[in-house]
A and B are shown apart, each in its own frame.
Chain A
Amino acid sequence: MVITEKEKAEMLSQLAATNVSHCIQCGRCSANCPVAWKMDVLPHRMVYALLNGEADTLLEANSPWKCLSCFACAQRCPKGVSPAAIMEAVRLTAIRSQGGNKLNPNELENYNDKLPQQALVAAFRKYNK
């Protein structure tokens, strides 16, 4: 079954459940994102891509894998849009598909022994299913 880009965008919109049509492209989310400097598609461009049904742009971006889920973008958006929810929708779409896991447990063998469990649980929740 071939899924069109439009259908993928509809699925992403449903998962994200945030009203991107309210976005005014002011860029405050990107200005407040502490990790925007690592992203290839800035948070406000992620919103714009979803509004335009550009699912491939969203699914190919590295941004969701750099996002910290700190909710600064959503908290400070003047229009109540949540770029964080779009990042989560993209992550889930990727990791819910077979073979979509991003974090290989074998690569973590030598992590710092002070690393709290909380960090491992969080990372595996965000990067794997």
Chain B
Amino acid sequence: MIYNYYPGCTLSTKAKELDEAARKCAEALGFPLVELPEWQCCGAVYPMASDAIAERLSAVRALAAARENGGVLVTLCSACHHVIKRVNYDMANNKDIQQRVNNYLGLEVPYTGETKVLHYLEVLRDVVGFDNLKAKVVKPLQGRQIGAYYGCLLLRPGQVMSFDDVERPEILENFIKAIGATPVIYDMRNECCAGYMAVTDKSICKQMVGEIQDSAANAGAGEFITACPLCAYNLLENAGATKLPVSYFTEVLAEALGLNEGGAD
């Protein structure tokens, strides 16, 4: 299988650690990532209005390119995954959007949602398997109490994302177990970090991040892992008195696989 890879804007710049660790680990685990030769920013937010056609084009271009190269597209950033997966769903299920996007793109073969979009964590769970992953861990992160921070975009809307149980997810907790650490369940793990309010109203970020940090710390977590650069930013830059360290899940994966010298953030 060819694992076409869509890094997205932030992973090429401010979140290079997320990207670099992911590529290294994928190589070591037998699913090398093949970056799409051309890609554009996904737009970061899903265009909810069905008449928003231009806003869907970059996702469809990436999806169509992956279709021509085996039909699988791997994403990593929660926002890219959210946008690309939902646009793919529209292209498969909404005839009006499908027709208008195809009219615009004029592809040789119209795109109708054929590509399978997989988040990197889904590859770990469904292709590699957490048991196999566990067997490849050379440096189990014993004693580490890790709070998985899902945020909102990976999970919702559950019917379209079909990533995990939308209110009681366990994929990140099972990942944490596989790399030898202890997952800590806390109330706020699938609540929003306040996202783009980091640009327009930081008081919202501070309030919400404070609740997330306290919730995790009170449950006994010593650190967070996340898949989203904006979540990572908000959790650190808009924290109050409680400020647990934050790593990307691929960084702790690389650590457990013995692929880097550094520790968690």
* Contact surface of A with B, Cβ cutoff 8 Å: 15, 17, 34-35, 37-38, 65-66, 68-72, 74-75, 84-85, 88-89, 92, 103, 108, 111-112, 114-123, 125-127
B124 interface contact, C-beta 8 A:
no
> In the complex the two chains form, what is the Cα distance from A123 to B230 in whole Å?
12
Given contacts A68-B197, A71-B157, A116-B230, 15 further A-B contacts (CB under 8 A): A17-B49, A34-B194, A34-B208, A38-B201, A66-B204, A72-B192, A74-B157, A92-B49, A118-B8, A118-B77, A118-B230, A123-B196, A123-B200, A126-B45, A127-B200
The reply to whether A119 and B191 contact each other, CB–CB distance below 8 Å, is: no
**Are B49 and A88 within 8 A (Cβ)?**
yes
- Interface membership of B79, Cβ < 8 A: yes
The secondary structure that dominates the B interface is: loop
Q: Are B48 and A118 in contact (CB under 8 A)?
A: no
For A117, list chain B residues within 8 Å (CB). 9-10, 13-14, 41
Contact A70 B158, beta carbon cutoff 8 Å: no
**Distance in Å from the Cβ of B156 to the closest Cβ of chain A?**
4
Give A127 to B196 CA distance when docked, in angstroms.
10
With known contacts A34-B208, A74-B157, A119–B195 Cβ distance under 8 A: yes
Q: Chain A residues with Cβ under 8 A from B10's Cβ?
A: 116-118
Q: Nearest B residue to A123 by beta-carbon distance?
A: B199
Most chain A beta-carbon neighbours within 10 Å: one of B46, B194, B195, B208: B195
Q: A15-B49, A125-B44, A125-B45 in contact; A118/B199 too (CB < 8 A)?
A: no
Q: B230 touches which one: A38, A65, A122 (CB < 8 A)?
A: A122
Query: Nearest Cβ distance between residue B14 and chain A, in whole angstroms?
Result: 4
Please name all residues of chain A whose beta carbon is closer than 8 Å to the beta carbon of B8 when the two chains form the complex.
118
Chain B interfacial positions (CB closer than 8 Å to A) = 8-10, 13-15, 41, 43-52, 55, 77, 79, 152-153, 156-158, 166, 191-192, 194-201, 204, 207-208, 229-230, 233, 237
Question: What are 20 A-B contacts with C-beta separation under 8 Å?
Answer: A66-B201, A68-B152, A71-B152, A71-B156, A75-B158, A84-B48, A85-B48, A88-B49, A103-B199, A117-B13, A117-B14, A118-B10, A118-B230, A119-B195, A119-B233, A125-B45, A125-B47, A126-B45, A126-B196, A127-B200
- Residue numbers in A under 8 Å from B152 (CB-CB): 68, 70-72
Name the A residues within 8 Å of B14 (CB-CB). 114-117
Chain B's closest residue to A73 (CB) is: B156
A111 to B14 alpha-carbon distance, docked (Å): 14
- The answer to whether B229 touches A118, judged by C-beta atoms less than 8 angstroms apart, is yes
Number of A-B contacts (CB under 8 A): 120
- Chain B residues lying within 8 Å of A66, measured Cβ to Cβ, are 197, 201, 204
How far apart are the CA atoms of A118 and B108 in the complex, in Å? 32
Q: How far is the CA of A125 from the CA of B82 in the complex (A)?
A: 15
Q: Closest CB of chain A to B213's CB: distance in Å? A: 14
Expressed in whole angstroms, the Cα–Cα distance for A68 and B192 within the complex equals 8
Residues of A within 8 A of B207 (CB): 37
A118→B208 contact, CB < 8 A: no
Whole-angstrom CA separation of A114 from B152 in the bound complex: 21
Neighbouring B residues of A111 by C-beta, 8 Å? 199
- CB pair A88–B200 under 8 Å, yes or no, is no
Q: Closest A-chain residue to B194, C-beta based? A: A68
Residues of chain A lying within 8 A (CB to CB) of residue B196:
68, 119, 122-123, 126
User: Does the CB pair B49–A122 fall under 8 Å?
Assistant: no
